[in-house]
Structure 1
Amino acid sequence: MADEALEGEPLAGLRIALPETRQLDVLAQMVERRGAETWRCPLVSILDTPDQEAVRAWLERFNAGAMDDLILLTGEGLRRLAAAAEREGCHEAFVTALSGVRKITRGPKPVNALRELGLKNDLTAEEATTEGVIASLREHDLQGHTVGVQLYGEEPNEKLTGFLRHQGADVDTVAPYVYADESNREQVEALAQGLVRGELDAIAFTSQAQVKRLMDVAKGIGIQPAVTEALNRLLVVAVGPIVADRLAQYSVGVDVMPEESWFMKPMVRALIERLAR
């Protein structure tokens, strides 16, 4: 559907929860201009990891040429690494080293972050998931390679690192950022209870960390099963397959997701297309 589909008020009458943090105002304006009423509840924020020494040590190894490949799971991670390199006075060395390794990306966001540094990726995951990265690397000879892995938050991603080691690679991980709670617990509890009471028509998740926070808080007040049931009654919107996979872990189905280009504007367009059926 062309961008004209975003004109007018195709979302009139829809009350939608937005757990987004960094671009909450942008997303809210995008749907409110199309007639939706929003329930704003930022669930998480992203911070530099407190273990900056580990990031510095990883950058030293990377810049010294210790790695053959680098798997970039998020654009946020690459930007945080570049910012850390800037602080350490080794940004030029970092970009030079980055240009010399094979760069494997999961999804479009790390591709965009590479482009900001004047670089391109060398291998794109078949799907923007851990399984997609594994599938794309399965036929490549990794024996004796040292593979850097930029992690998603603090999650160790043992499925990916285990696969790499099974293929004969040495793995060197780095976690440049962490997720922190954004809204206070009472606000998240109110959102969970509002879902159970049926006060919403839709919810749009833009990161898997948002899903986890909502479910953790719901579990803490004893209503996680009810929240799961409530989510499966309304329109659940996911920005991409990583978020959809996390929702599936909680037995929540996704009704709306862009077919490609996993960003907010395509997500809103996909919602409009869904409602137009």
Structure 2
Amino acid sequence: MDEDQPLRGFTVGVTAERKAEEIGALFARRGARVVFGAAMHTVPLPEDGELAAATEEVLAAPVDHVVAITGVGFRGWFEAAEHAGVADRLREHLRSAEVAARGAKARGAVRGAGLVESFTSPSEESAEVLAHLLERDLAGKRVVLQVHGDPMLSFRSALREAGAEVVPVTVYRWTDPVDLDALDALIDAVLRGEVDALPFTSAPAATNFLARADRTGRGDQLREVLRDRVFLACVGPVTAAPIAAAGLPYSTPDRSRTAALVRLVADELPGRRCSS
């Protein structure tokens, strides 16, 4: 194995939309052939009427707790509020609430919005944020949950069972990718055995990758190939949820970071070929 290019001779499929070129370059630098096929498309924030409606719901009553799940999502929420002319009002409205951040990037976005966090998850996991909230008396409390991609239904359900009113703020919605032909071509390449690894960086991408195959009559065959012949790598447990639900094997890096995901594939994929 080439230590500088451990992925030489391997093909990696990139399903991300955001930062696809950056991710592809990281794999190419390690010698991989990269095939692109974005599995989803995000709706631009200022154009999303649902986000504006959610923001107005937040502003309609006092807020006791705010949960920032991602840095880009929380920052995007305030950028959209700025676009709508309500950012200052939103900032003042949330200033008295306790803010919990899922990791350093979310904390940075909270501070960038002019707020102060009371808790940051050391492990950068949503489960740790939920456990922190559930230690409190949430009966009658109003919790604003910034959702980013994954709807976090179990997270929301646990808060409601504890007596909280949960106001989800979906920072973006996702749809089919703009270039469906590229996604279909990637799925076909997987079916032909031409793809060795599929790294996923978001739950919606993983969900729609499988769903697109189902909608086009290729779902069962795709799952069989993924189970037996493709190394599936997910940036974190939230991203991995759709893969786990499908009963497919996968690996995650120690840290939920793109660079760590690339290292995971570079470290583990060559060994899989040697052991097969």
Normalization by structure 2: what TM-score?
Answer: 0.85
One-letter amino acid of the structure 2 residue matched with residue 50 of structure 1:
G
Select the residue among 256, 262, 265 that pairs with 2:259.
Answer: 265
Quickly say closer, same or farther: Cα 1:56–1:164, change in 2 above 3 A.
closer
Higher mean C-alpha displacement, 20-29 vs 48-57: 48-57
Question: What is the distance in 1 between the residues matched to 2:129 and 2:222?
Answer: 31
Shift of 1:248: 0.2
Provide the residue aligned with 1:164 in structure 2.
159
Q: Which amino acid aligns with 2:66?
A: L
Segments of 5+ residues of structure 1 without an aligned counterpart are 1-6
Change beyond 3 A, Cα 1:194–1:83? same
Deviation at 1:136, TM superposition (A): 3.1
Question: What is the root-mean-square deviation of aligned Cα atoms in Å?
Answer: 2.5
The percentage of counterpart residues that share the same residue type is 26
- Given residue 263 of structure 1, which amino acid in structure 2 is its aligned partner? R
Within 2, Cα distance between the matches of 1:210 and 1:84? 23
5+ long unaligned stretches in structure 2: 272-276
| Equivalent pair of 1:148/1:172 in contact (CA under 8 Å) | yes
The answer to whether residue 191 in structure 2 is matched with residue 192 in structure 1 is no
Which residue of structure 1 aligns with residue 239 of structure 2?
243
Which residue of the partner structure matches residue 274 of structure 2?
none
- 8 Å contact kept, 1:154–1:178: no
Structure 1 runs of 4+ with >6 Å offset: none
Which deviates more, 12-21 or 89-98?
Answer: 89-98
Indicate how the Cα distance of structure 1 residues 222 and 109 shifts in structure 2: closer, same or farther if over 3 A, else same.
Answer: farther
Q: Does 2:51 correspond to 1:57?
A: no
Equivalent pair of 1:44/1:180 in contact (CA under 8 Å): yes
For residue 174 of structure 1, what is the aligned residue in structure 2?
169
Deviations 1:125-160 (A, max 9, x none): 5765554443333322112211112223483x4322
**C-alpha displacement at 1:265, in angstroms?**
1.2
1:223 aligns with 2:218: yes
How far 1:79 moved relative to its partner?
Answer: 1.9
Contact 1:55 1:176 in 2 (8 A): no
Q: 1:37 to 1:235 in 2, by over 3 A?
A: same
Query: Using a 3 Å threshold, how does the CA distance of structure 1 residues 130 and 101 change in structure 2: closer, same or farther?
Result: same
Q: Quick check: 191-200 or 134-143, which moved more?
A: 134-143
Matched with 1:274 is: 268
Amino acid at match of 2:138: L
Cα shift readout 1:227-262 (whole Å, capped 9, x = no counterpart): 11211222111111111122101111113x2212x1
Match of 2:131 in 1: 135
State which drifts further: 226-235 or 197-206.
226-235
Give the aligned length. 265
Q: Does 1:205 align with 2:200?
A: yes
1:165 to partner: Cα distance: 2.0
Task: Give the TM-score, by structure 1 length.
Answer: 0.84
Deviating more after overlay: 123-132 vs 144-153: 123-132
